[in-house]
Amino acid sequence: MTWDTLWLDVHLATSDPERISGEDGFGCIRNGALAVQDGKIAWVGAMEDLPAPAHTLARELRHGQGLWMTPGLVDAHTHVVFGGDRSAEFSLRLHGVSYEEIARQGGGILSTVRATRDATEEELLHKAIPRVQEMIASGTTAIEVKSGYGLRTSDELKQLRVARELARRLPVHVHTTFLGAHALPEEYVGRADEYIRHLSEEMLPCLMAENLVDSLDVFCENIAFSTEQAEKLFSRAQELKLPVRIHADQLSASGGGLLAARYGALSADHLEYVNEDAVSCMAQAGTVAMLLPGAFYFIRESKVPPINLFRHYGVPMGLATDCNPGTSPILSLPGVMNMACTLFRMTPEETFRAVTTVGARALGLEQNLGMLKPGCQADMALWDMAGPHELSYWIGGRKPRGVIFGGRVVVDPQNCALSPAV
């Protein structure tokens, strides 16, 4: 067989568990090569182990000139499709105005709901595209996109259609999540149980009928929805064979982590206040602890997630931007990696796996994304760095020299210093 493309002279940080050891938490292959066939990785190894002379193996040869190649990064928790702007709230809070007062003045999450409802589908798409382009330029090739700023059927449909359209317009995989239980809309004030029934019996089946939902999420917290209300939605999702995830234990020990384990959730997200019993159950269920240091930083939280408990019980730790207008206005996963090292004391190796293999696992896509391994999607990023540890070093993150999606270079090929081999 002749491969489509063969990359030469690249150092590979594969994130392949079979290559990770106690000494090497990145799964590195120095002076490596990687072959692509039909948009998938066909061969990975050292250049000296190529089965034949390079020029006989592929229709196109690419020289990486000693750059580092990693899997494309996976951002498994975002709210990147939304209307309006809440940057002024940041200034108000720093001038001493409380969140409650901002909400009384018409701000807060319901202001984003109103702006999202007022926006057309095309307007939401026009605003979301530059955000996702910036994510891609930072090395991200797969994102999860939540609804939850519509809170009524027509507007949740609108958000999720935009999410699907992003995958058609841009070189990025998109996993869609229905988060109708994000906040209680104004028209249901005092009727939370009725709203949950509406989500379960009317809204969710409608969205699924249009093939717009890949998973279901609930904001389970004292200021949002109870574990009992979340469980009603989880039971309905289970009937529909829809994977679940949950915003859990962010502001209080609300029991969301334990509920996630009981239902085998793909991930439980935030988890600042999760307890040891829940962590143990999450380990047995295989639920990812999706940590979101952007929100922790932005709202100046002081309760650090129990990193050592996750390590002790073997709970896989993921990282994501949580990109949203109210509590985590960040688009760079490398920036999040730095925050996780600095604020949570995670190691560079842990943060690397968190945005590659573990991020893919949190989307149920661990067989296809997040690794440089034969059979996986040929989604990669090229970095000019001393080693993969450097990804979590730069404050604010850094950008790759190039991004490859489905085997095709899609970001700044002229700056990658790549040229056909001679």
Feature table: binding site for 4-imidazolone-5-propanoate: 86, 149, 182, 250, 327
Instruction: From 412, 414, 339, select the one nearest 381 (Cα to Cα).
Output: 412
- The annotated binding site for Zn(2+) is made up of 77, 79, 247, 322
The runs of H, that is alpha helices, within 53-152 are 87-94, 99-104, 109-118, 121-137
Alpha helices in 305-410 (DSSP H): 307-313, 333-344, 348-354, 357-362
How many other β-carbons are positioned within 10 Å of the β-carbon of residue 254? 25
Are 110 and 103 within 8 A, CB to CB?
Answer: yes
Strands 408-411 and 173-181: unpaired
Describe the chain by its helix, strand, coil percentages, rounded to 5.
40, 25, 40
Count of C-beta atoms within a 10 Å radius of residue 95: 7
Q: Which residue numbers belong to the known binding site for Fe(3+)? A: 77, 79, 247, 322
What span, in angstroms and rounded, lies between the C-alpha atoms of 82 and 152? 14
Give the bridge partners for 291, in sequence order: 319
Phi, psi of 207 (to 5 degrees): -65, -40
User: Which residues are annotated as part of the binding site for N-formimidoyl-L-glutamate?
Assistant: 149, 324, 326
Known binding site: residues? Answer: 77, 79, 86, 149, 182, 247, 250, 322, 324, 326-327
